Amino acid sequence: MKKLKFIDLFAGIGGFHLAFHNVGAECVMASEIDIHARKTYEVNFSKLSPKLFNEDMLKGDLLKIPVSDIPDFDILCAGFPCQPFSQIGYRRGFLDSHENRGNMFFEIANIIEKKKPHAFFLENVRHLLKHDNGDTFRVIKDVLEGLGYSFHYKVVKASDYGLPQHRPRVFMVGFRGEKTNNSSFMFPAKKPLIYDMSDIFQGECEKQIGFTLRVGGRGSKIHDRRNWEFYRVDGSVKRLGVKEGKMMQGFPLDFVFPVSESQSMKQLGNSVAVKAIEEVAKQIVQYLKVKNLKYEGILSMKDYESKLAYV
């Protein structure tokens, strides 16, 4: 089977890119509006995915990219803007007019409708589920199912897949040509921690699993309810830095930040937890391979589970 292709929308510093690259897929276009994040993205992926840059496929504002200019792809990935739905924001949802953030889901739907990829993988804050009494999430589900896709979702913590950070996020996955109730896709089982906060700080940390990395609120004292960056290690208070943040988010230690320390922490706080994305990405890729083998008679749930173990 030829290598699956994906596009990386609202790409940030490339958490989706790294995860899907690790499971053998190829990024054919990325879009990120923030100039500082694009700089970090280019520095880290120009060697990993040179074709993307040779063909000038790292783009800026998604709303300025004609759908006709997007290359064909198999999987759409998007950690679309969460500020309209987050607990700490205004929770304006689809009504958020700042940089058209609230309308970005409909741009995703427009791309899916016109390009008809085999699958999508979306990520957002868990509060999306309850926004506007659940109506916002129902709209998202109804729109995607109306485009001919199944719709699967799960609230996933980074710690569910090996990383010592809470970071609850809702993952949404769907496949073209399937009905939700008849789809046999399953989210992967939870995995044990790869390392804990003591390993990250290289000392005895009072917390095994760390706080969720955030964008704002830096400098809150260790006992402040808003604190997310200070930990007690070997009896002393230590502050989370870029190295520790990379490990908590699942980025390799050689991942480079060509920006200031404050920008680096902001970019990490905005990123996805790579290992969590990677485990689900692996499941998506395996599932698409199995779907491609349906002509061999792999049709039942039992057959799918059996075949999945060997793909």
User: Cα separation of 114 and 134, whole Å?
Assistant: 27
Residue 247 main-chain phi, psi, to 5 deg = -65, -40
Which residues does the annotation mark as catalytic? 82
